[in-house]
Structure 1
């Protein structure tokens, strides 16, 4: 018969074996958990890395501000009482290609139509369109028939120094003709301002506002100064008829004022279109 001491040793051994078994099982569970966590971390890193590579964490770029197409310089309507403040056109989002039709209805016959060149003179076209929308030109007089052969319009005051309470820079001024060698005759070149040309005129030069010229004859100066903004497409015969009117002193000693009032009853500008600028028309 086993002694009491032997039984105690067996019980102690069995207890130790059970403890070792529990510890081994616990260690196995820890290893499994750690392995699972490690796999999850690796997968998460792969997902995050892929998202980063695809730009998911890139900061969204700020929307780019629209760039100004035109700049309008304020003019002091208090200092020059001939100016008429009707606000200013937009500076951004303006059309810069194609044309806009302009229709000038006067008391001298059929309407005069023209195409404004949005590519070469977007700011002039924007200004005239804006002012037309404000009825700025309606019931105003074309106050001058110039010595260069053009009808001058667009000044509600009729003084030559009137306009809106803003100005803008020159666009599309023709280049001066190249001097030809003295040994050979000058080649035949088209004039800087062929009949039917529509151009801006400013006082002082370069501070354009609302005044414009419609040429009823060719004009080819040595130093062109008027920005070309478009071409007449219809009613040029009416412009020629006005150009033939008798002129009288305008109060400054210059005999340039039409003796018969030439009144713009309305001036309208159509929507932009993609058509090229038309050639001057005699119709």
Structure 2
């Protein structure tokens, strides 16, 4: 049976062991706290690095960068204007029909329709933000179209309008003539195509845009919108050619084409709004 001294010694040793265990546990806790702190710091550093280096641009920005202007090939040879297989009578009578949609500019009137000359040429100048575009209008190709175009110029219909569409692949053209800038606007009247089966297209041509034949009347849907062919244009002969753009003007259009477009008209009819804006400040004849 242990004596009091022995019991005191045993109690002392037990207390010493407990103190040692407590110190070891406290040490482990301190080590754990340090490790936790280090992990937290590393994690925080990683987050800061991620925030500092990661690009949080919107999906639209990403899409825009992925559809940046691609290098395009533009023919340099200007194609001579075509000639009609059979000359038209002189003068001619045109038909300008009221269209279903009102004019994009209130008060626009249709031109005179009788006694329209089908010989000779006129010149017109588009003063645009990109420079002057000098046009030659050929009445022997499309007298009713030239008559309408001059009529709209004289009413300042095109002044202040922008070209709403450019194509850079397949069909290389710049489309203009809608004051609304949407591709939906017209002058409030329509007239027929002035084409022939052998008609082809090439660099430098001015041609009328249209929406095909009217389903009810089976007549033409030409209005105010036109396009400038600056390169390839493998089109069926359904678009009235009425003049040409000079070489200096074509080079200005080339620069617009190389800047690309926003793809807003893809996949059909193709192309999009030019990335480099083309705005008509004024258009004059003579």
Q: Counterpart of 1:89 in 2: which secondary structure?
A: coil
Task: Tell me, yes or no, if structure 1 residue 196 matches structure 2 residue 180.
Answer: no
Q: Deviations over 1:27-86 (max 9, x none)?
A: xxxxxxxxxxxxxxxxxxxxxxxxxxxxxxxxxxxxxxxx862110101335xx757541
Contact 1:84–1:163 under 8 Å retained in 2: no
The change in CA–CA distance for 1:255 and 1:195 in structure 2 (over 3 A counts) is: closer
Q: Counterpart of 1:126 in 2: which secondary structure?
A: helix
Q: Give the unaligned 5+ runs of structure 2.
A: 1-90, 214-219
Query: Structure 1 length as normaliser, TM-score?
Result: 0.60
Q: Counterpart of 1:169 in 2: which secondary structure?
A: coil
Q: Deviations over 1:206-242 (max 9, x none)?
A: 3101111111113233x23211111223422112112
What does residue range 123-162 of structure 1 map to in structure 2 within 5 Å? 123-146=144-167, 147=169, 148-162=171-185
The equivalent position to 2:133 in structure 1, one of 90, 94, 112, is: 112
What does residue range 73-112 of structure 1 map to in structure 2 within 5 Å? 73-77=97-101, 82=104, 84-109=106-131, 111-112=132-133
Q: Give the unaligned 5+ runs of structure 1.
A: 1-66, 177-191, 271-283
What is residue 262 of structure 1 aligned with on the other side? 278
Shift of 1:252: 7.2
The change in CA–CA distance for 1:141 and 1:173 in structure 2 (over 3 A counts) is: farther
Q: Deviations over 1:80-126 (max 9, x none)?
A: x75754111001232210111121121112x1112111012001100
Contact 1:247–1:257 under 8 Å retained in 2: yes
Task: Tell me, yes or no, if structure 1 residue 240 matches structure 2 residue 263.
Answer: no
CA distance in 2 between partners of 1:83 and 1:249 (Å) = 27
Contact 2:195–2:238 under 8 Å retained in 1: no
CA distance in 1 between partners of 2:180 and 2:211 (Å) = 13
What is residue 94 of structure 2 aligned with on the other side? 70
The equivalent position to 2:195 in structure 1, one of 147, 172, 176, is: 172
Query: Structure 2 length as normaliser, TM-score?
Result: 0.59
Q: Counterpart of 2:148 in 1: which secondary structure?
A: helix
CA distance in 2 between partners of 1:98 and 1:212 (Å) = 21
The change in CA–CA distance for 1:143 and 1:119 in structure 2 (over 3 A counts) is: same
What is residue 242 of structure 2 aligned with on the other side? 229
CA distance in 1 between partners of 2:152 and 2:203 (Å) = 25
Q: Tell me how many residue pairs correspond in the alignment.
A: 186
Contact 1:143–1:153 under 8 Å retained in 2: yes
Q: Counterpart of 1:258 in 2: which secondary structure?
A: coil
